[in-house]
Amino acid sequence: MKKLAIISEFNPFHNGHKYLLDKAKEDLACDLAISFMSGDFVQRGEAAIVDKFTRAKTAVENGFDLVIEMPNFISLQAAEFFALKSLEILDKMEIDYLCFGIERLDERDFLDKAKIVINNDNFINQELKKYLANGISYTKALNSAISKLVGDDFISANNILALEYMKAIDKLKSKIIPYPICRVGSLNKDKTINDKFYASSTAIRNNISSDISKLMPRTSFKNFSNFFKNYNRINDEFFYKIFTYKLIVEKKAMTDIIGYEEGIENHLIKLVDRNRTFDDFINEATSLRYTKSRVRRLILNYILDNSFKLNYIDIHFIRILAYNKKATKIFNNFNDKVDIVINKADSKILDQNNFKIYEKMINSSNLYNLAIGREINYDYIHNNKPFK
């Protein structure tokens, strides 16, 4: 049984996501389509606009067979580790193809240039050191080093993440075949809506008071709208208050938290002390050294107590958020490196370290539940039966 996977956020699920999936299924003729999806917090260091169960349900309704939750300590890290840890799990599932979106380049050109970058790691590292020595931020330094090798048209956040997927496949010596697909209608960085049917997730989130119904599949817009009828909108101030309490009142150390580097703790204490609102804080905290996404991820990892030690756990389970009956046929076909957790009772099979990861996923959901006004431990009562 051939399996394709897409690493995703679906924040929210829009027509571009549907296009990516449909084209991948048409081109590859796989038997199963899997989404490895961020939970309630995404890689930009933000709470997802709608919860993981709504997004997972939408994904299955629009062509996926199985949606697996990405552990939050993975989703709240920079692109390199985000990609590597995701691919480690997908490799254990014996995925055949990893499909992902790219922009500005055609698929063959992207693959060729990505291989050049991977095969010239020493050159990239040397150039990176030169740029960093001149005080340039890590992200800009890396982009400059890569563009010097393969050109400016390669550089975009979307393509760099795709490159990290390919680097992870290479590092793991995985048999997974990378399959890029060009985006249509918009770029990932677009903040405004410039097309009748296609817009980036950012543009949709920035314009939810406008008519966005044509930018999303019908079921996605319906689920999206229903979510806001039942729950509160996410507010950054909620998380900022918790962060302030833990940092200033509780004085919880930050040194072992994912995203920490020496000096950042005292820097953030000073900023929290003089900024009453999150917007004021994040604007002052952002610099060449500390990007907005990096600070946001650190805040959430700090609140959730996600330590560096989690990075070294060998994850051998998958937490299933949504699936259809076709997906159930392959549950017994996964190799012995992957345990399946659908409901709370299934977690009893996990060893101590993997159960800790599972608990972290539940804790993350409960933080989100508090923010939207939903009952604690909703994960345990959510009806997780297969869709037709």
Q: Which DSSP category does 324 fall into?
A: B
Q: Is 20 labeled as ligand-binding?
A: yes
Is 11 annotated as a binding-site member? yes
CA–CA gap between residue 20 and residue 8 (Å, rounded): 11
Residue 8 in marked binding region:
yes
pLDDT tens per residue across span 307-326: 999 999 999 999 999 999 99
Pairing status of strand 97-102 against strand 177-182: parallel
17 is in an annotated binding site: yes
Q: Any known ligand binding at 9?
A: yes
SS3 33: strand
**Residue labelled with tokens 């982009």:** 143
Q: Is 178 annotated as a binding residue?
A: no
Give the H or E element holding residue 159.
helix 157-172
pTM: 0.95
Q: Any binding-site annotation on 301?
A: no
How far apart CA 209 and CA 122 sit, in angstroms, is: 48
**Can you read off the two tokens belonging to residue 386?**
């297969």
Annotated binding residue 14: yes
Q: Is 13 annotated as a binding residue?
A: yes
Residue at token pair 């997780």:
384
Q: Are 29 and 1 in contact (CB under 8 A)?
A: no
Query: Would you give the end-to-end CA distance of the chain in angstroms?
Result: 20
- Is 12 assigned a ligand-binding role in the annotation? yes
245 among annotated binding-site residues: no
337 is in an annotated binding site: no
16 annotated to bind ligand: yes
Encode pLDDT of 208-254 as tens digits.
989 999 999 999 999 999 999 999 999 999 999 999 999 999 999 99
Digitized pLDDT (tens) for each residue of the chain, 388 residues in all:
899 999 999 999 999 999 999 999 999 999 999 999 999 999 999 999 999 999 999 999 999 999 999 999 999 999 999 999 999 999 999 999 999 999 989 999 999 999 999 999 999 999 999 988 888 888 889 999 999 999 999 999 999 999 999 999 999 999 999 999 999 876 767 778 888 899 999 999 999 989 999 999 999 999 999 999 999 999 999 999 999 999 999 999 999 999 999 989 999 999 999 999 999 999 999 987 888 999 999 999 999 999 999 999 999 999 999 999 999 988 877 767 899 999 999 999 999 999 999 999 999 999 999 999 999 999 999 988 888 6
CA 19 – CA 221 distance, rounded (Å): 16
> Residue 183 annotated as binding?
yes
